[in-house]
Amino acid sequence: MVCRYGDDLKLMIEEVRQYTKEGKVADYIPAISLANKSDVAVAIYDGNDTCFSEGNSNQLFTLQSISKVLTLALALMDHGEEIVFSKVGMEPTGDPFNSIAKLETQVPSKPLNPMINAGALAVSSLIKGSSNDEKLDRLLSFVRELSGNPSISFNKDVAKSEYDTADLNRALLYFMKQHGVISDDIEELLDFYTKQCAIEVNCEDLAKIGYALAHQGEHPDKNYSIVPTEIARLVKTFMVTCGMYNASGEFAIRVGIPAKSGVSGGIVGAVPGSIGIGIYGPALDEKGNSIAGMKLLQLLSAKYRLSIF
Ligand code: DON
């Protein structure tokens, strides 16, 4: 396939692969620690073609925190802004993604934003459905539509591996329940959240999801709206302010693309009105972002002038 980014992507991948040596695969979710540290893959979707520079369309990985963008959009579609933002705030924390610190120091004690774990757990409790199966079916349908890939599902082993070891997230949930942010059964909510995080995609899926968000929530291949324009705008704004956690400020300066990372090493990028980007590189920096993926986005942004600022 001819792709105008093709040759550049190959060179950029070669350039950034060296950084994978400096990173670490996440090991607090045992099933993720099995990933191949030196992997780097990228896809760009421009509305016509998807191009890959490395890896292949069959390389699957789990969304992890990238799912937070999608549950936020769905919760906003389910309930509207007033209800969602009564449970979760709009401010970056400057803290690691799993920190509990600000839950205790903020009054009222609601999580500061929907991209940190506490905020995402509160958002997950808002997804409509009479059972976890129904909630997950709704979320999976949404992800399948956004990516144009009807076969997307979740990885049961990764979900179980996280569920069995997620005591930090349990602590966040107990804290929020005590303070009235959530009222759910904690194990039920954690079951849903870990399955949401274990939804499996490849770079092409991520690039198409990024493209849909970049294009006001339009279907990546067909001509209809999946996410209302206002919600797509709001979600992209969170990606800029909180999408890379306590690296979001530097990322905005160096890259300037609305993006969201996950500890599996995925990053989705949405360049407004332009391309969607999907990245996979499981070697992470100390803040939990793909080390080679961040460098790659920096190179892409500089080469194609992708910064929104
Ligand atoms: O809740 C967790 O810790 C994981 N399921 C997701 C965290 C994550 O992906 C943070 N991203 N860099």
Segment-wise mean pLDDT, segments of 10 residues, the chain, 309 residues: 76 93 95 93 89 73 98 98 97 90 84 96 98 98 96 97 97 95 97 98 95 91 91 98 94 98 97 96 95 97 97
The reply, when asked if residue 162 is annotated as ligand binding, is yes
Nearest partner of 65 among 33, 36, 34, 97, judged by Cα? 97
Collapsed DSSP state (helix, strand, coil) of residue 5: coil
Give Cβ neighbours of residue 304 (< 8 Å, ≥ 6 apart). 5
The reply, when asked if residue 188 is annotated as ligand binding, is no
Residue 152: what are its φ and ψ, rounded to 5°?
-65, 135
> What pLDDT score was predicted for residue 2?
57
Q: Is the ipTM of this complex over 0.90?
A: yes
Nearest partner of 185 among 124, 139, 134, 107, judged by Cα? 124
Atom 1 in ligand 1: residue holding the nearest Cα: 117
User: 282 burial class (0-12, 13-18, 19+ CB within 10 angstroms)?
Assistant: buried
**What is the distance between the alpha carbons of residues 162 and 191, in angstroms, rounded to a whole number?**
9
Residues with CB under 6 A from ligand 1: 64-65, 97-98, 117, 162, 169, 197, 261-263, 288-289
User: 30 burial class (0-12, 13-18, 19+ CB within 10 angstroms)?
Assistant: middle
Which of 25, 62, 63, 65 to mutate to test ligand 1, by most ligand atoms within 8 A of the CB atom? 65
Atom 11 in ligand 1: residue holding the nearest Cα: 262
User: 56: how many CB neighbours lie within 10 A of its CB?
Assistant: 11
Strands in 198-265 per DSSP E: 200-201, 259-261
> What pLDDT score was predicted for residue 54?
73
Whole-number Å distance, alpha carbon 262 to ligand 1 midpoint, is 6
Q: Which amino acid is at 34?
A: L
User: 185 burial class (0-12, 13-18, 19+ CB within 10 angstroms)?
Assistant: exposed
Catalytic residue among 16, 19, 45, 65: 65
**What is the distance between the alpha carbons of residues 221 and 208, in angstroms, rounded to a whole number?**
9
Give Cβ neighbours of residue 43 (< 8 Å, ≥ 6 apart). 50, 51, 52, 57, 202, 203, 204, 206, 207, 277, 278, 279
DSSP letter at 20 equals G
Give Cβ neighbours of residue 91 (< 8 Å, ≥ 6 apart). 112, 113, 241
**What is the distance between the alpha carbons of residues 178 and 202, in angstroms, rounded to a whole number?**
38
Q: Is the dihedral of CA 151, 47, 230, 87 positive or negative?
A: positive
Task: Name residue 261's beta-bridge partners.
Answer: 267
Verify whether residue 263 is a known catalytic residue: yes
Task: Tell me the domains of the chain and their CATH numbers.
Answer: 6-62+202-303 (3.40.710.10), 65-197 (1.10.1500.10)
Task: Name residue 25's beta-bridge partners.
Answer: 283
